[in-house]
Amino acid sequence: MIIAADSQALRDRLNALRVDNATVGFVPTMGNLHAGHLSLIEQARSVADVVVVSIFVNPMQFAAHEDLDTYPRTLEADLSALREVKADLVFTPSTSDIYPHGSENETTIHVPILGEALCGKERPGHFDGVCTVVYKLFQLVKPDVAIFGEKDLQQLLIIKKMTRDLALPIDIQSGATRRAADGLALSSRNQYLTPDQRAIAPLLWQTLQHCADRLTKTPADEVALMLATARNKIAQAGFSLDYLELRSLATLTTVSDTSVDCALFVAARLGHTRLIDNIQICAR
């Protein structure tokens, strides 16, 4: 496994790996890798000849009050895990390499509509930071395929739109959410949870499953009440709820039934830990 610590080393190493029209699969990460990340890398291995993984904690997607300084950084453990799954090249750039003039002075990429709902509303500027760094990484790696997890479904939809709108020749593929045995979606932030909070956290997934099942049996004019009841249940369990909403997958606009492909999206906090999850629902 090759480790490239800056952009020039990445270019040099990639040029050496791109022989005989080898295809490149790319998985961008912020490190602190878990089984969910590793499943994306294994998926990339199944569809590409060369697998590149980036580890970069992107300051542009964190607001001033968020956890940039305390976000877990576990580079040595991450590299060990990547050797196990046979990543070919790991890109570990510095902030100054990605943002030589400072992230606050960078041109940013904004995806309208999709980037302004849900987490885009709750975390203004977050997806601008995500899109900007992903675009920069795409330009450096120039992958044929890039894999993103479905746990952050809004992010996946936004990256797909950005790629289409900017005519980037990259196949964006999705990887299924990996979960703990009790259903909690795997996330680097789960380690922030206290034992009591960790015991409560699976309620988010349980609520999504319950609502998705009921949606197939609930008239459209009763969906709002059903979701309001679910929100109350989540709040009473101890969560501070940002949202629980049924949204179209095409536009992320609110819908009241499953006549279009849609998903239930949830974001809620336990203490200082913000958890997100979703469940997709095919049109009926």
Cα separation, 89 vs 3, in Å, equals 6
**Catalytic pick among 34, 37, 65, 210:** 37
107 and 214: one domain? no
CATH number of the domain enclosing 102:
3.40.50.620
Q: Give the total number of structural domains in the chain.
A: 2
Contact 149, 156 (CB under 8 A): yes
**Statement to judge: residues 158 and 195 lie in one domain:** no
Residues 116 and 198 grouped into a single domain: no
Residue 284, pLDDT > 80, answer no
Whether the CB-CB separation of 149 and 275 falls below 8 Å is answered with: no
Asked if the structure places residue 182 within a domain, the reply is: no
Note whether 214 and 164 are same-domain residues: no
Nearest of 170, 173, 171, 169 to residue 148 by alpha carbon: 173
Q: Are residues 12 and 97 in the same domain?
A: yes
Across the beta sheet with 171-175, the strand order is 2-4, 89-91, 50-55, 24-29, 145-149, 171-175
The verdict on whether 272 is a catalytic residue reads no
Residue 26 clears pLDDT 90, i.e. is over it: yes
The residue from 153, 175, 197 where one domain ends is 175
Write down the pLDDT at residue 181: 98
Looking at the fold, whether 232 and 266 belong to one and the same domain comes out as yes
Residue 10 to residue 89: CA distance in whole angstroms: 8
pLDDT > 90 in the chain, percent? 91
Q: Give CB contacts under 8 A, 24+ apart, made by 62-65.
A: 62/126, 62/129, 63/123, 63/124, 63/125, 63/126
Whether 45 is in a domain gets the answer: yes
Please write the tens of the pLDDT for every residue from 222-259. 999 999 999 999 999 999 999 999 999 999 999 998 89
> 26 and 116 share a domain?
yes
Structural domain boundaries enclosing 239: 188-281
Residue 178: its pLDDT value, please?
Answer: 98
Domain limit, last residue, from 147, 175, 203: 175
In this structure, the number of other CB atoms found within 10 A of the CB of residue 11 comes to: 14
pTM comes to 0.96
Q: Could you tell me the CATH number of the domain that includes residue 250?
A: 3.30.1300.10
- pLDDT tens, residue by residue, 88-126: 999 999 999 999 999 999 999 999 999 999 999 999 999
Of 11, 26, 42, 70, nearest to 188 by C-alpha is 70
Domain identity same for 12 and 122:
yes
Q: Which of 61-75, 144-158, 201-215 has the lowest mean pLDDT?
A: 61-75
Backbone angles phi, psi at 240, to 5 degrees: -100, 110
Contact in structure between 178 and 186 (CB atoms under 8 Å): yes
Residue 183 in any domain: the answer is: no
- 8 A C-beta contact, residue 13 and residue 92: no
DSSP structural state of residue 178 = P
* Predicted pLDDT of residue 62: 94
| Per-residue pLDDT, 194 | 97
* Whether residue 44 is found in the same domain as residue 146: yes
Q: Are 265 and 244 in contact (CB under 8 A)?
A: yes
Taking CA atoms, 33 is separated from 40, 56, 139, in Å, by: 11, 12, 23
